[in-house]
Structure formats: C-alpha cells, structure tokens
Amino acid sequence: MNKEDLFKKVISHAKEYGFIFQSSEIYDGLQAVYDYGQNGAELKRNIRDYWWKAMVQMHENIVGIDAAIFMHPTTWKASGHVDAFNDPQIDNKDSKKRYRADVLLEDYAEKLRQKAEKEITKAKKRFGADFDEAMFRETNPRVKRYLTEAEETVQRMAQSLEKNDLADVKELIEEKGIACPISGSKNWTEVRQFNLMFSTQMGATADGANEVYLRPETAQGIFTNFLNVQKTGRLKIPFGIAQTGKAFRNEIVARQFIFRMREFEQMEMQFFVRPGEELKWYEYWKDQRMQWHQALGLNPDLYRWHDHEKLAHYANAAADIEFDFPFGFKELEGVHSRTDFDLKAHEKYSGKKLQFFDPELNENYVPYVVETSIGLDRMFLALLSAAYQEETLEDGSTRTVLKLPLALAPVKAAILPLVKKDGLPEISREILSTLQLDHNVQYDEKDAIGKRYRRHDAIGTPLCITVDHQSKEDQTVTLRHRDSMQQERISIPDLPAKVSELVKISSLLTNKS
C-alpha cells in the first residue's frame, strides 16, 4: 500500500471505528479541530498514562502538576509569545487561500529530497549488492543537484526569517516558481507575520475586561510554578516538573488530520539543572526519550533525530525526534536546552526571585532548563498509522488489524459467548465482571464469531476470550491472540493473571532498548 493510500485509509478507519471525529460535524465541522470517540479517548488516555508513568512515576526527582489554561497575560509577554510567536503568512490572490511561507518552501525542499531518494532507490535496484550509496550520493550529478538546492533553499529561508527579511522570503518563493497547490497560480501577496495565540476577554463587564490568552504551550505553567513546587516538594536540583494538557495555536495552515491542530494536547517536562550541566542532561533526556519511543516495539527505522540548524535565541541545543508519518518524516517531539531564559524573563517581569539555593555550592542561581515536549495527538497519529495493516489470510480472506502495542490498546480483551444461549452468556459476564476490575474489556455477543474477531482486530483488541460449550464442562475458554491469531485453551481462574501479564504497562517501562 502506498503512503497516500495508507493515510486516507487511516483517516477513514479512525472515523468508522470511533477513534476520531471532526469536531461539531453536524454543523459541517470546524477546521483543524477534532473530537476523540470512544476508542480514541481510551487510546489517548493510555498514551498519556504511559508518558506520565515513564516520566513521573519512574523518576524519583520528577513531579507532575496540572496548571490552568488561562494565565496572567504578562506571562506571555515574558515568554516572548506576544512579540515573537509568529508564523510568516502569505495569501494567494487568486485562490484567496492562506499559506505559511516557510511551509511552502519546506515542502518545495522536501520534494527535491524525495526526487533524490527516488534516484537512489532506482540505482540501488540497478546495481544490486555492489551499490555504494554514500559514493552515489556524493557523485551522481542529479542527486547532488537536488540535495544542494534543497539545502540552499532551506538555509536562505532560515537566514531571511532570522533577519525578519520577509521580502526575501517572498522573492525566494517567486524564484522557485512555487504555485498555490489549489489554483496553480503564482500571484502572491507580501509575506506578513501572524501571531498564533488565541485571545479572549476575562471579566464580567466589558469595562473590567482583561485580554487573556489560551496558552499556546503548557511549559509556562511549569515555569511560573517553579518556586511553589520546588519549595513545597522540597526538591533539590536536578529535578523535573511535568504536565500534560491542552494548548491552542491559531495555525495558518492546519492540515494533515490531527498532525497540526488548533486545539491539541502537549506532554511536557522541564528539568531544572545547575548552569553548566545542561548539555550533559540534554544528552541524557535525548537518550531517555528515544528509549520511551522504542520500547513500544515499532520499527526503529520510523524514528530519526533532526538537530535544529537554527537555534532559538534562548536555546543552546535542540533536536527533534521525527517520525515517518504517512506524509513523510515530521516532528513528533522536541528536546530543547533552553538555558535560564524563561526563569530569568519571569524574574524580570514579575520582580520575584526564581532561584535555587544550592547547598553543595553554597550559592543561589537561576537554574538552567532542559525541556522534553511531545504532542499527544501526534503520538496518537504515529501509533495509528504504524499499527494499521491489511492482511491476506491463508484462506484468501482479508482482515484489517490495528497492531497497537498491547498495553496501549483501547480495549484489552473481548469476551465472546459462542452462542447467546445454553448458559454461555452468564459465564461470559462473570469473566467480564472479574476482568473489568483491572482492564477496559468488552462483552460482545452479536454476530458470528468470525465477524466479532474482525471487529476487535479493527480496533486493536489484543485478546479475544471465547466461551463455548466445553467451558461449561471443564471451566476453560479459548484465548485468541490478535497478531498471530493463534488460539490456546486456558482455564477461567487463570485468566486474570494471564491477561494482566500480556497487557501490563510495566512491560513498556522496563523494556528499554
């Protein structure tokens, strides 16, 4: 299946099986805003739990908080979001469509890279085992030309954006002959900066109203609570504060399903360290975060590191974990060494000291911060697209199966009486009431057993427990495994331990690659 087809199928599967719906769909939806359905909400909760357990529960020096979405407006002045949380926008005069100028150029560069990769794949096929890929990349004129142009385009764009030279960004778009993907027209407006924060009014009357923002990242709630948490938790450096929660960005280009949304959820952790030790911790967190991903057991080739070429003025190192989504490698998570920029800025704007007294050094300092930041919705999309598979079975029939990591599956086990009579539903419901104490499990008696297996394959249920007439005789059931479709006979009293063993989240927390 090619990637474009895969993406279309993942989107329609997500809707058909209750994972993701367009927000307010009965009113034709709201662009780039989505709702999670009954299975989506479970999967999302399981991903969040896995993150929380790995970050907070498994680290004795990390605690979790839950800060409000609304914050004092000065927060966003101090953080730089009021003045600089902008994207360069450009409109096409004919189609009236709005784009991010940097995205148009990045897409252009990506197409060049894909052309180079195509040449390399072709050559690989032609030369077989003798193929020297590194040499080919360096010497093939076409590949070199594509890759150099891609590199130069991105670099010139980065430099122009750094200098806020928006005229040059427009010139670059025109030089490259980039056309509006909808109309094919090259009739562009000037490039302008567009602030991504949503604002609203707080207060009962218009007079007393105060402009507040919907937070564009969860991180600032951690910085503003730094002293509260450090003091009340009696935490010593190095320590971390984690939180998960909604963030809002008025994205100009909202596309690729739940990849870029206007309302989304982040899982962030700020790790406070001694100045001068931040790069050591940056490496540590890069390593930890990649282990978190790889413990899920997906193909390791789906992940790669991307070091930021252009560092934000407050960062002294930054890298993204990119994932091979159905539309190519894109950012999934960021690890950033943010120096003391945020705490110092909040000291300046609030007039409060945000420092730590280090008893070993006998001095006060503003800690440096290493941040890990991942979008929960992006992680959801990564898992869903890697899990979606269409298989042809031995008898020639096909099945669609979501091979989700067992511990994250929305429903852990389905309990299926073979027929709706002869006491089998009663035995099934007894099993249900035992298993549901620990897991999200479902009872399902409708349709033929094969159809019920397919239904649960499609939502990624790892285990199907079938109660049949033999169950009445010897207190055993069949346990069917989703991925292998193999069945084993198991005694009913052994079920709770067996199911827990197979779907436990602790296997992800200890199974570090």
Residues at the contact surface with ligand GAP, assessed by CB under 6 A = 217, 219, 249, 251, 260-261, 264, 266, 268, 331-334, 371, 373-375, 377-378
**Which one, 240 or 375, has the nearer CB to ligand GAP?**
375
**Which one, 32 or 404, has the nearer CB to ligand GAP?**
32
**Closest separation in Å from C-beta 32 to ligand GAP:** 8
**Closest separation in Å from C-beta 499 to ligand GAP:** 32
For residues 275 and 269, is the Cβ–Cβ distance under 8 A?
A: no
d(CA 284, CA 275): 16
Question: What is the length of the chain?
Answer: 513
Task: Please give the residue whose beta carbon sits closest to ligand GAP in the complex.
Answer: 375
**Which one, 39 or 270, has the nearer CB to ligand GAP?**
270
Closest CA to 1 of 459, 368, 416, 398: 398
**Closest separation in Å from C-beta 336 to ligand GAP:** 7
For residues 283 and 302, is the Cβ–Cβ distance under 8 A?
A: no
**Closest separation in Å from C-beta 422 to ligand GAP:** 51
**Closest separation in Å from C-beta 325 to ligand GAP:** 11
**Closest separation in Å from C-beta 84 to ligand GAP:** 12
Q: Number of helices (H) and strands (E) in the chain: give both, helices first.
A: 18, 23
**Which one, 165 or 331, has the nearer CB to ligand GAP?**
331
β-bridge partners, 305: 321
**Closest separation in Å from C-beta 267 to ligand GAP:** 9
Q: CB neighbours of 139 closer than 8 A, spacing ≥ 6?
A: none
Other CB atoms within 10 Å distance of the CB of residue 93: 13
Strand blocks (E) in 327-420 = 328-337, 356-358, 363-365, 368-375, 388-392, 398-402, 413-417
d(CA 178, CA 189): 13
Let me know if 247 is exposed, middle or buried by CB neighbors in 10 A (0-12, 13-18, 19+). buried
d(CA 354, CA 330): 35
Q: DSSP 3-state assignment of 311? A: coil
**Which one, 264 or 453, has the nearer CB to ligand GAP?**
264
β-bridge partners, 441: 413
CA distances from residue 136 to 116, 128, 146, 466 in whole angstroms, order as listed: 11, 13, 13, 56
**Which one, 219 or 464, has the nearer CB to ligand GAP?**
219
**Which one, 194 or 443, has the nearer CB to ligand GAP?**
194
**Which one, 140 or 250, has the nearer CB to ligand GAP?**
250
Residue 75: half-sphere exposure toward Cβ, Cα within 13 Å: 22
**Which one, 172 or 382, has the nearer CB to ligand GAP?**
382
**Closest separation in Å from C-beta 459 to ligand GAP:** 23
**Closest separation in Å from C-beta 200 to ligand GAP:** 19
Sole residue written with tokens 């999934």: 332
**Which one, 64 or 496, has the nearer CB to ligand GAP?**
64
For residues 321 and 336, is the Cβ–Cβ distance under 8 A?
A: no
**Closest separation in Å from C-beta 259 to ligand GAP:** 6
